[in-house]
Amino acid sequence: MMKKLSVNLGKGLLSALLSASLMLGLSQVARADRVKDLVSVAGVRENQLVGYGLVVGLSGTGDQTSQAPFTVQSIKNMLSGFGIRVPDNVNPQLKNVAAVTVHANLPPFAKPGQTIDITVSSIGNAASLRGGSLLMAPLMGADGQVYAIAQGSLLVGGLGASGNDGSRVTVNIPSAGRIPNGATVERAAPSTMAANGEIMLNLKKPDFTTAHRLAQEINSKFGAGTASALDSASVKVLGPSNPDRSVTFISLLESLEITPAEAGAKVVVNSRTGTIVIGGNVRVMPAAVTHGSLTVSISENLNVSQPQPFSRGGTTVVTPESSIEVTESGSRMFLLDAGVTLEEIVKAINSVGAAPGDLVAILEALDQAGALRAELVVI
């Protein structure tokens, strides 16, 4: 199975990494992968939970209530639940409280009483959550039901410090933290796994060939008609109608091994980081490429103009002088034959002295000319 090559745009490193990775990929024989690494079982999924709460016990780094009035409102509502009424004309200036959002992922088949990790993030203008404790906060799912209750002391990896002159130093993000095992599951999420004995296997990377091979492998092990490929992403499997045996049957399915289809030819360019990923199946049609670079240099000089000796009325002045120079390096043309490999493409481009950044422009030009037999993806 051809490996993909990840290249960070460094001029000397580009060719070495591409050639070495290509040779490594060619030297390895395609091997089978476990089904559990290629598919996910429909109905076995995480569910996102979110909630709102208050972090207390901060050392003067909480919300400024004048700019975050909802923090004061939350405090008043909480105190009213304990029978304490704050007068309407009183606006507490609390610097040790921060309003936060709490979010977590509810694992599949999580049962009441189990604990999950949570992340706490400030939604006001709190400077830091370090040293704070989250008060009891319900976590709700997309259906509005409460599935967990969160509470505990925060672990904050960030640090912030400021001086009286306005100088400030911040390390990482002090306005967010985590609480390991900070929420207790109160309700199990509904599951539709193996409904009516039908198990749906969804490929993590949809591919018609891989789906066909998966269905064939299951039928060869468990009998004809057990599995059928519905599309490039889903394979329906007829499992046992008894729910107690579904776990054993899925375990047997996950232990099967198949050889997934080779990925389509792609060239992925990250315009922000300058990273290029070129698939090993990339080919080009016959094309001729020329490369050259134009350099424009502009320099500014200041000259001094003085009057002649013994002259009358003259003054010394400064006169600017601009110098513009245009140079163009010699360009060479190279020819790409039909069906050349990735290694040959990189060698040909490097032979004309193209900088790694120019490789992107050359690949785009080949794609526009219809010579690049691959999908060019720019992210």
In which band, very low, low, confident or very high, does the pLDDT at 296 lie, cut at 50, 70 and 90? very low
SS3 label, residue 307:
coil
Number of domains in the chain: 4
Q: Are 66 and 179 found together in one domain?
A: yes
pLDDT for 366 beyond 80: no
- In whole angstroms, give the CA distance from residue 221 to residue 215: 10
pLDDT, one tens digit per residue, over 152-211 is: 999 987 655 555 555 555 566 888 999 999 999 999 988 777 667 788 999 998 989 999
Q: What is the pLDDT of residue 21?
A: 43
- In whole angstroms, give the CA distance from residue 306 to residue 308: 7
pLDDT for 73 beyond 80: yes
- In whole angstroms, give the CA distance from residue 20 to residue 26: 10
Who's near 190: CB < 8 A, 6+ residues apart? none
Q: Which amino acid is at 243?
A: P
Residue with tokens 């513009």: 324
Triad 67, 71, 74: Cα angle to 5°: 150
CATH of the domain at 235: 3.30.1360
| Last residue in a domain, options 131, 165, 185 | 185
- In whole angstroms, give the CA distance from residue 177 to residue 190: 29
Average pLDDT, the chain: 77
- In whole angstroms, give the CA distance from residue 298 to residue 291: 24
SS3 label, residue 356:
helix
2-6, 45-49, 373-377: least confidently modelled range: 2-6
pLDDT for 343 beyond 70: no
Q: What is the pLDDT of residue 111?
A: 92
- In whole angstroms, give the CA distance from residue 275 to residue 17: 13
Structure tokens at 234: 């889903």
Q: Are 170 and 51 found together in one domain?
A: yes
Q: Are 156 and 52 found together in one domain?
A: yes
Q: What is the pLDDT of residue 371?
A: 74
pLDDT, one tens digit per residue, over 37-52 is: 999 888 888 899 999 9
Q: What is the pLDDT of residue 139?
A: 95
Residues in the chain: 379
Mean pLDDT of 256-275: 80
Q: Which of 142-146, 241-245, 264-268, 322-326 has the highest mean pLDDT?
A: 142-146
Q: What is the pLDDT of residue 119?
A: 94
In which band, very low, low, confident or very high, does the pLDDT at 345 lie, cut at 50, 70 and 90? low
Residue with tokens 């891989």: 210
SS3 label, residue 31:
coil
pLDDT for 120 beyond 50: yes
Long-range contacts of 11-19 (CB under 8 A, 24+ apart): 11/355, 11/356, 14/346, 14/350, 14/356, 14/359, 15/346, 15/347, 15/350, 18/278, 18/342, 18/343, 18/346, 19/343, 19/346, 19/347
Comparing 248 with 335, the larger pLDDT belongs to 248
pLDDT for 23 beyond 50: no
- 342-351 and 356-368 helices, crossing angle to 10°: 120
Q: Are 61 and 177 found together in one domain?
A: yes
Q: Are 179 and 289 found together in one domain?
A: no
pLDDT, one tens digit per residue, over 167-181 is: 555 566 888 999 999
127-131, 147-151, 164-168: least confidently modelled range: 164-168
Q: What is the pLDDT of residue 328?
A: 52
SS3 label, residue 103:
strand
Q: What is the pLDDT of residue 324?
A: 53
Q: Are 38 and 203 in contact (CB under 8 A)?
A: yes
pLDDT above 90 covers a percentage of the chain that reads 25
Q: What pTM value is reported for the model?
A: 0.64
Q: Which domain holds residue 343?
A: 5-27+265-293+330-378
Q: What is the pLDDT of residue 348?
A: 66
Q: What is the pLDDT of residue 51?
A: 95
Q: Are 174 and 52 found together in one domain?
A: yes
pLDDT, one tens digit per residue, over 211-222 is: 999 999 999 999
Burial tier of 324 (Cβ tally within 10 Å: 0-12, 13-18, 19+):
exposed
Q: What is the pLDDT of residue 262?
A: 80
How far is C-alpha 87 from the chain's CA centre?
48
| Last residue in a domain, options 258, 283, 305 | 258
Q: Are 323 and 373 found together in one domain?
A: no
- In whole angstroms, give the CA distance from residue 95 to residue 93: 6
- In whole angstroms, give the CA distance from residue 42 to residue 39: 9
Instruction: Give the up-direction half-sphere exposure of residue 200: CA atoms within 13 A in the CB hemisphere.
Output: 14
Burial tier of 321 (Cβ tally within 10 Å: 0-12, 13-18, 19+):
exposed
Q: Are 221 and 161 found together in one domain?
A: no
Mean pLDDT of 111-129: 91
Q: Are 221 and 303 found together in one domain?
A: no
pLDDT, one tens digit per residue, over 300-317 is: 566 777 777 766 666 777
Please give the C-alpha separations between residue 183 and each of 117, 177, 191, 340, in angstroms, as whole numbers: 6, 14, 21, 57
Q: What is the pLDDT of residue 191?
A: 76
Q: What is the pLDDT of residue 27?
A: 40
Q: Are 16 and 141 found together in one domain?
A: no
Residue with tokens 């232990």: 255
Q: Are 71 and 170 found together in one domain?
A: yes
In which band, very low, low, confident or very high, does the pLDDT at 126 lie, cut at 50, 70 and 90? confident
| Last residue in a domain, options 185, 204, 226 | 185
- In whole angstroms, give the CA distance from residue 24 to residue 20: 6
Q: Are 279 and 335 found together in one domain?
A: yes
